[in-house]
A = this chain, B = another copy of it.
Amino acid sequence: MADQKKMVEDITAMDVDFSKWYTDVVKKAELADYSSVKGCMVIRPYGYAIWENIQKDLDARFKELGHENVYMPMFIPEGLLQKEKDHVEGFAPECAWVTFGGESQLTERLAIRPTSETLFCEHYKNIIHSYRDLPKLYNQWCNVVRWEKTTRPFLRTSEFLWQEGHTMHATAEEARAETRRMHQCYEDFYRETLAIPPVVGRKTEKEKFAGAEETYTIEAMMHNGVALQGGTSHYFGDGFSRAFDITFTDKDNQLKHPFQTSWGVSTRMIGALIMIHGDDNGLVLPPKVAPIQVAIIPIAMHKPGVLEKASELFDALKKQFRVKLDDSDNSPGWKFSEYEMKGVPLRLEIGPKDIEKNQCVLVRRDNREKRFVSLDNLAEEIENALAAVHHALYEKAQQNLIEKTFTAHNYEEFLDIAANHPGFIRAMWCGDTECEEKLKDVTGGVKSRCIPFQEEHISDVCVCCGKPAKHMVIWGRQY
Contact = CB atoms under 8 A, between A and B. Distances in A.
Interface of A: 33, 35-37, 40-45, 48-49, 51-52, 68-77, 80, 93-103, 109-110, 112, 119, 122-123, 126-127, 138, 142-143, 145, 147, 158-159, 161
B101 A98 contact: no
B98 A70 contact: no
Contact of A138 (B45, B112, B119): B45
12 contacts: A33-B123, A40-B75, A42-B71, A42-B72, A42-B123, A43-B70, A71-B161, A74-B159, A94-B102, A95-B102, A97-B100, A97-B101
Sorted nearest first, the 5 A-B pairs with minimum C-beta distance are: A40-B73, A45-B68, A97-B100, A43-B71, A101-B147
A99 B102 contact: no
Residue from the set A35, A43, A126 with the largest chain B CB neighbour count within 10 Å: A35
B48 A71 contact: yes
Nearest to A160: B71
A96 B103 contact: no
Contact of A73 (B35, B71, B109): B35
B69 A48 contact: yes
A45 to B, nearest CB: 4
Contacts of A71: 42-43, 48, 51, 161
Nearest to A145: B74
A73 B33 contact: no
- This chain: copies in complex: 2
A126 B69 contact: no
Contacts of A49: 68-69
Given A70-B44, A71-B43, A98-B98, A36 B77 contact: yes
Contacts of A110: 37, 96
A424 to B, nearest CB: 31
Residue from the set A36, A112, A159 with the largest chain B CB neighbour count within 10 Å: A36
A41 B473 CA distance: 43
Residue from the set A41, A73, A76, A147 with the largest chain B CB neighbour count within 10 Å: A73
A87 B363 CA distance: 50
Nearest to A46: B68
A52 B35 contact: no
Contacts of A101: 96-97, 147, 158
Given A42-B73, A93-B102, A98-B99, 16 more contacts: A33-B126, A33-B127, A36-B80, A37-B77, A40-B74, A43-B71, A44-B70, A45-B138, A75-B159, A94-B102, A96-B101, A96-B110, A98-B112, A99-B99, A100-B109, A143-B143
A266 to B, nearest CB: 12
A292 to B, nearest CB: 13
Nearest to A44: B70
Nearest to A100: B97
Nearest to A101: B147
Given A33-B127, A36-B122, A127-B33, A147 B102 contact: yes
Contact of A45 (B35, B36, B69, B93): B69
A357 to B, nearest CB: 35
Contacts of A109: 100
Nearest to A73: B40
Contacts of A43: 70-71
Contacts of A103: 93
A333 B37 CA distance: 56
A42 B70 contact: yes
Nearest to A138: B45
